[in-house]
A and B are shown apart, each in its own frame.
Chain A
Amino acid sequence: EPEVTQTPSHQVTQMGQEVILRCVPISNHLYFYWYRQILGQKVEFLVSFYNNEISEKSEIFDDQFSVERPDGSNFTLKIRSTKLEDSAMYFCASRDSFGNQPQHFGDGTRLSIL
């Protein structure tokens, strides 16, 4: 069964550094999402993306965050100048259409900011 794949599985970075989290959505999917889950808390929406544009972003998704689909297969989340509070699991999701079609999640990247 097709899967959403995310790399790396674990990223450790010094505070203030930039990180890029990578996702390969399922190949025929058109709608892409990033969510995060701080340890012990619920999964929170960050951003949705379609047709090379952001569809919606949450309050969390401020100017330090950006997303890109650089080559038709990858979907990346960049965090500039990371902060300690950015430490979390980051999940990528994709789906082939809306209208009650489910989102499929990757296994996440654990981001640890030191």
Chain B
Amino acid sequence: TQLLEQSPQFLSIQEGENLTVYCNSSSVFSSLQWYRQEPGEGPVLLVTVVTGGEVKKLKRLTFQFGDARKDSSLHITAAQPGDTGLYLCAGERSNFGNEKLTFGTGTRLTIIP
């Protein structure tokens, strides 16, 4: 069974601070996706990373895929209250076939104004 562990589980910081969320596994993934989930809604895709060492930026969010494709990180610069939410990483073992997503344990982020 492939597991994705996210840390920290909960994070509460002041507006304007920087933060990093980690997603780690002992298994190799073909790709990793980061989702954000609001209460009462489904996960919404933020980014997909597919190449070891890949870095993608989405405004103030920077996503990195580990060189060995076993881990990923999400860095937020100058956090804003609108960044508050549940952040989920999810990986696929293979890019062939109808592959399922294995979700991480989630990081609940609260940005204090």
Contact = CB atoms under 8 A, between A and B. Distances in A.
A106 B42 contact: yes
A55 B99 CA distance: 9
B101 A103 contact: yes
B50 interface: yes
B42 A108 contact: yes
Chain A residues touching B, majority SS? strand
B106 interface: yes
B98 A55 contact: yes
Interface of B: 30-31, 33, 35, 40-45, 48, 50, 88, 90, 92, 95-106
Given A58-B100, A98-B97, A108-B41, 11 more contacts: A31-B98, A33-B100, A33-B101, A42-B88, A42-B103, A42-B105, A45-B101, A98-B98, A99-B96, A102-B33, A107-B42
Interface of A: 4, 31, 33, 35, 42-45, 48-50, 55-56, 58, 91, 93, 98-100, 102-108, 110
